[in-house]
């Protein structure tokens, strides 16, 4: 989008119709204070954002004075733009009715739009809709800036959010991550409800829920402490940097401060690497088993003795059982070879007697050997003897000597311990290594602290050679040393809070894992699978959004620094850094100027202005790349803090950055001390621009009478 023309009619100091025919590049509008320059900016802003309120304040007093009572005229601001080969005209206006002298009423407030195609055909359209289409209101926020104070757009927490909404692909993942979080939370609730149905885990489950809630609150609390500490560190570093600006030998001091900071960083790194959380290692790293081997040997000896005794007892038992079974077998064989007794015979001896006598003394009949009678008595005896064998040979009901095989389990346990002895023997070495490592770090820190004290003494000596008054120097040194102590304390707090947060996150992870184990054992498997899938999906959305967010910030930072160096060529700039942090579940991005990786806390206003302008140019270029469209930038008095010698150079560099820009400045307009006439300085001749205008009041005029005010436009 290119603004081709702006017309202002009867608006404040612009009597009748005044036109600005603009170029596609750098347009400079010059004007001394009170000559109409700022009214031009306000007229354009009213066109873009103005509402139907206090319209009488916008009326040209000169036009109202010349209008007869009862007559009317129109106050109007219009803009002709060119976009994609088509022209559009947007006009905002209202009707002024003169009621009586110096009094008027307003009516017929309207926003009109005209769209003109490449063939020259014009179509009447809704003006507000047309404006929002060709120049979206989100982008207009980054297009118009009044004064240097408004250039720092990132003072607002919402500024970066607006930019992301405009240009970053991260915005596309907001709705997905929110939906993913909602679905995951519902799945978590379903799994929890399912787990709670298992009454045996109910008490433990509720206990874990309470502990998880506690650790999450602790995490939030310490995150607030950490953010607050980081803010305090930045403030203290700013105070120190200001104090350092009062001392002489700045180069030596800068080198010394870097050395001090490097030593402090080494000390801090060593402190972080020292791990003296021995209680945790006692159990998590199995340090408690360092003296386990003697106990294992005693245990193994007892198990071996027990195993041997068991085998001896089992062997004796087996022998006795074998003897018993042998006796039974012998007896059975003996009975099978004997002459059986008949069943019902009073005794075995009677049966044997009858067989020997070959007579049955029961029936008193002869029973010769081989006869049927003899065979019958023999069969009866055998039957009797067989019945006797069956009684003695009943199934063996003896139970095993050892009902359970606990000895084998103990043997396996002993073997398992034996296999682990190699790893357990390494524990002592690990413990010795940890203690040795910690002791070495402590010794290094002792040496570093000695070196640090020497460097600080040298720093104090340099501070003592300051050129400022002694009384003020004492205050500076007093505050400086106090700030140094505060900085050291805050840095230690930062380490402590960071460590505490890591421990809290570790505890939180453990509790959540314990809760998940109960879910796996108690909850419906389908619900668990669904929850796990939704957890992964939510993580993917969040990670992707973070990645796109970081890519956008990196691109914005790179472009900003490129412009920053371009418009400050051959001059100190430093580096623009976008710092991102989370505050109370909100992502905050702050912009700061850094010098050699260190925050530059007190830059001069011109450097800040050029930094902010560089960021705005970067945003404009992003808009061109992403939306494939150019949008203008309009600045009112953006370089008032610049040195006179720097202004032409700065404007020349802006000229090379491309895209349409409209700069309203009071510079280069000079008043003759004798004639009081205004003229343009010759220095403006060297300023490169595509087009320039001079806004000045029509002479003569009465400074105390607005009815005499009328701004003229001179194209230079």
Q: Is the pLDDT of residue 81 over 90?
A: yes
Q: In whole angstroms, what is the distance from residue 274 CA to residue 436 CA? A: 10
Q: So what's the pLDDT on residue 332?
A: 53
Taking residues 178-195, report their average pLDDT. Answer: 82
Q: How confident is the model at residue 339 (pLDDT cuts 50, 70, 90)?
A: very low
Q: Are 695 and 30 in contact (CB under 8 A)?
A: yes
Q: So what's the pLDDT on residue 472?
A: 60
Per-residue pLDDT of 421-457, as tens digits, reads 777 778 788 888 888 888 888 888 888 888 888 888 8
Q: So what's the pLDDT on residue 340?
A: 42
* Alpha-carbon distances of 7 from 4, 17, 93, 518, rounded to whole Å: 10, 7, 12, 74
Packing angle, helices 406-464 and 470-522, rounded to 10: 160
Residues 6+ apart with CB under 8 A from 502: none
Please name which of 700, 541, 696, 443 lies closest in space to residue 174, comparing C-alpha atoms: 541
Per-residue pLDDT of 117-147, as tens digits, reads 877 788 899 999 999 888 877 777 778 777 6
Q: So what's the pLDDT on residue 419?
A: 72
Q: In whole angstroms, what is the distance from residue 30 CA to residue 713 CA? A: 10
Q: In whole angstroms, what is the distance from residue 657 CA to residue 612 CA? A: 15
Q: So what's the pLDDT on residue 157?
A: 58
Taking residues 648-669, report their average pLDDT. Answer: 83
Q: So what's the pLDDT on residue 93?
A: 94
Q: Is the pLDDT of residue 257 over 90?
A: no
Instruction: Locate 229 and state its tokens.
Output: 């500490």
Q: Is the pLDDT of residue 250 over 60?
A: no
| Strands 72-83 vs 2-11: parallel, antiparallel or unpaired | antiparallel
Q: So what's the pLDDT on residue 312?
A: 83
Q: So what's the pLDDT on residue 152?
A: 64
Q: Is the pLDDT of residue 552 over 90?
A: no
Q: How confident is the model at residue 223 (pLDDT cuts 50, 70, 90)?
A: confident
| pTM for the full predicted model | 0.56
Taking residues 303-320, report their average pLDDT. Answer: 82
- What DSSP string runs through 222-246? HHHHHHHHHHHHHHHHHHHHHHHTT
Pick the range with the lowest mean pLDDT from 276-290, 528-542, 652-666, 681-695.
276-290
Please name which of 84, 155, 164 lies closest in space to residue 118, comparing C-alpha atoms: 84
Per-residue pLDDT of 617-637, as tens digits, reads 887 777 777 666 678 888 887
Q: So what's the pLDDT on residue 468?
A: 57
* Alpha-carbon distances of 113 from 45, 674, 677, rounded to whole Å: 17, 49, 41
Q: Is the pLDDT of residue 37 over 90?
A: no
Q: Where are the alpha helices (DSSP H) in 400-524?
A: 406-464, 470-522
Domain ranges of the chain: 2-135+631-715, 210-246+469-513, 298-392
More confident residue, 8 or 169: 8
Q: So what's the pLDDT on residue 585?
A: 58
Q: Among the ranges 15-24, 427-436, 569-578, which has the highest mean pLDDT value?
A: 15-24
Report the residue count for the chain.
716
Q: How confident is the model at residue 353 (pLDDT cuts 50, 70, 90)?
A: confident
Taking residues 369-386, report their average pLDDT. Answer: 80
Instruction: Locate 112 and state its tokens.
Output: 């009109």
Q: Are 614 and 560 in contact (CB under 8 A)?
A: yes
Cα dihedral sign, 333-335-336-338: positive
Q: So what's the pLDDT on residue 181?
A: 81
Taking residues 374-392, report their average pLDDT. Answer: 70
Packing angle, helices 174-196 and 202-244, rounded to 10: 140
Q: What are phi and psi of 661, to 5 degrees?
A: -140, 140
Q: In whole angstroms, what is the distance from residue 335 CA to residue 337 CA? A: 5
- Residue 183's Cβ-side half-sphere holds a number of Cα atoms within 13 Å equal to 18
* DSSP tag of 698: P
More confident residue, 469 or 195: 195
Q: In whole angstroms, what is the distance from residue 161 CA to residue 588 CA? A: 9
Taking residues 478-501, report their average pLDDT. Answer: 85
Q: What are phi and psi of 668, to 5 degrees?
A: 70, 0
Q: How confident is the model at residue 329 (pLDDT cuts 50, 70, 90)?
A: low
* DSSP tag of 35: S
Q: So what's the pLDDT on residue 601?
A: 64
Q: Are 107 and 95 in contact (CB under 8 A)?
A: yes
Q: How confident is the model at residue 9 (pLDDT cuts 50, 70, 90)?
A: very high
What is the average pLDDT score of the chain?
Answer: 80
CA dihedral of residues 564, 569, 572, 574 (deg, nearest 10):
30
Q: So what's the pLDDT on residue 111?
A: 93
* DSSP tag of 671: E
Q: How confident is the model at residue 392 (pLDDT cuts 50, 70, 90)?
A: very low
Q: So what's the pLDDT on residue 14?
A: 92
Q: In whole angstroms, what is the distance from residue 165 CA to residue 163 CA? A: 5
Q: Are 36 and 104 in contact (CB under 8 A)?
A: no
Q: In whole angstroms, what is the distance from residue 260 CA to residue 453 CA? A: 9
Q: Is the pLDDT of residue 395 over 60?
A: no
Residues 6+ apart with CB under 8 A from 77: 6, 7, 8, 9, 11, 43, 44, 46, 47, 91, 92, 93
Q: What is the CATH number of domain 2-135+631-715?
A: 3.40.50.300
Q: So what's the pLDDT on residue 485?
A: 84
Q: Is the pLDDT of residue 341 over 50?
A: no
Instruction: Locate 668 and state its tokens.
Output: 């280069």
Q: So what's the pLDDT on residue 5?
A: 93
Per-residue pLDDT of 230-248, as tens digits, reads 888 888 877 777 676 665 5
Q: Is the pLDDT of residue 391 over 60?
A: no
Per-residue pLDDT of 259-293, as tens digits, reads 888 888 888 888 888 877 777 777 777 778 778 77
- Which pairs count as long-range contacts for 513-522, CB under 8 Å and 24+ apart, including other chains? 514/208, 515/205, 515/208, 515/209, 515/212, 518/195, 518/201, 518/204, 518/205, 518/208, 519/191, 519/192, 519/194, 519/195, 521/198, 521/201, 522/194, 522/195, 522/197, 522/198, 522/201, 522/205
Packing angle, helices 470-522 and 250-273, rounded to 10: 30
CA 43 to chain centre: 43
Q: Is the pLDDT of residue 94 over 90?
A: yes
The continuous run of DSSP H or E covering 295 comes out as helix 292-337
Q: So what's the pLDDT on residue 334?
A: 47
């Amino acid at each position: 989008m290119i603004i081709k023309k702006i017309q202002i009619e009867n608006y404040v100091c612009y009597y009748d119709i005044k036109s600005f025919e603009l170029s596609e590049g750098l347009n400079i509008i010059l004007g001394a204070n009170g000559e109409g320059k700022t009214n031009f900016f306000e007229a354009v802003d009213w066109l873009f954002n103005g509402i139907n309120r206090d319209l009488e304040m916008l009326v040209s007093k000169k036009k109202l004075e010349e209008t007869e009572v009862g007559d009317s005229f129109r106050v109007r601001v219009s803009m002709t733009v060119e976009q994609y080969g088509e022209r559009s005209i947007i006009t905002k206006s209202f009707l002024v009715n003169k009621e009586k002298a110096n009094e008027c009423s307003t009516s017929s407030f309207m926003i009109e739009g005209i769209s003109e195609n490449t063939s020259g055909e014009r179509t009447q359209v809704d003006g507000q809709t047309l404006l929002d289409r060709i120049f979206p209101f989100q982008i207009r926020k980054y297009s118009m800036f009044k004064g240097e104070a408004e250039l720092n757009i990132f003072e607002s927490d919402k500024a970066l959010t607006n930019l992301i909404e405009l240009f970053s692909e991260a915005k596309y993942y907001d709705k997905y991550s929110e939906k993913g979080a909602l679905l995951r939370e519902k799945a978590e609730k379903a799994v929890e409800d399912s787990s709670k149905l298992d009454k045996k885990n109910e008490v433990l489950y509720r206990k874990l829920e309470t502990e998880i809630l506690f650790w999450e609150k602790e995490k939030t609390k310490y995150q607030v402490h950490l953010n607050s500490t980081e803010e305090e560190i930045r403030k203290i570093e700013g105070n120190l940097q200001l104090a350092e600006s009062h001392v002489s030998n700045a180069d030596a001091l800068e080198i010394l401060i870097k050395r001090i900071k490097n030593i402090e960083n080494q000390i801090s790194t060593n402190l972080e690497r020292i791990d003296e959380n021995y209680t945790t290692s006692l159990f998590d790293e199995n340090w408690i088993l360092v003296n386990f081997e003697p106990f294992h040997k005693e245990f193994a000896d007892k198990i071996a003795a027990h195993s041997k005794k068991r085998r001896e007892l089992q062997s004796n038992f087996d022998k006795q059982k074998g003897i018993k079974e042998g006796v039974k077998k012998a007896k059975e064989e003996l009975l099978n070879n004997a002459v059986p007794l008949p069943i019902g015979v009073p005794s075995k001896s009677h049966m044997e007697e009858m067989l020997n006598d070959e007579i049955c003394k029961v029936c008193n009949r002869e029973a010769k050997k081989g006869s049927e009678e003899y065979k019958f008595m023999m069969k009866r005896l055998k039957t009797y003897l067989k019945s006797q064998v069956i009684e003695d040979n009943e199934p063996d009901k003896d139970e095993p000597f050892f009902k359970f095989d606990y000895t084998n389990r103990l043997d396996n346990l002993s073997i398992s311990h034996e296999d682990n002895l190699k790893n357990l023997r390494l524990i002592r070495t690990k413990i010795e290594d940890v203690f040795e490592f910690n002791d070495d770090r402590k010794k290094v820190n002792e040496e570093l602290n000695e070196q640090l004290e020497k460097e600080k003494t040298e720093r104090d000596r340099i501070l003592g050679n300051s050129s400022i008054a002694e009384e003020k120097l004492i205050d500076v040194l007093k505050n400086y040393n106090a700030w140094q102590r505060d900085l050291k304390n805050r840095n230690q707090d930062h380490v402590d809070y960071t460590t505490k947060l890591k421990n809290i996150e570790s505890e939180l992870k453990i509790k959540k894992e314990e809760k998940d184990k109960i879910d796996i054992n108690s909850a419906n498997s389908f619900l668990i699978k669904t929850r796990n899938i939704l957890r992964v999906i939510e993580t993917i959305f969040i990670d992707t959004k973070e990645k796109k967010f970081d890519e956008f910030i990196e691109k914005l930072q790179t472009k900003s620094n490129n412009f920053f160096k371009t418009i400050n060529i051959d001059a100190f700039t430093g580096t623009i850094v976008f710092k991102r942090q989370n505050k109370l579940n909100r992502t905050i991005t702050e912009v700061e100027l850094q010098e050699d990786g260190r925050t530059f806390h007190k830059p001069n206003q011109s450097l800040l202005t050029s930094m902010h302008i560089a960021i705005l140019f970067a945003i404009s270029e992003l808009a061109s790349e992403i939306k494939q469209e150019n949008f203008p930038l309009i600045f009112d008095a953006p370089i008032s803090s610049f040195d006179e010698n720097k202004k032409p150079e700065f404007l020349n560099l802006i000229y090379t950055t491309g895209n349409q820009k409209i700069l309203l400045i009071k510079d280069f307009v000079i008043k003759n001390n004798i004639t009081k006439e205004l003229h343009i300085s010759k220095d403006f001749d060297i300023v490169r621009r595509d087009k320039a205008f001079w806004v000045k009041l029509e002479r003569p005029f009465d400074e105390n009478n607005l009815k005499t005010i009328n701004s003229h436009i001179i194209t230079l």
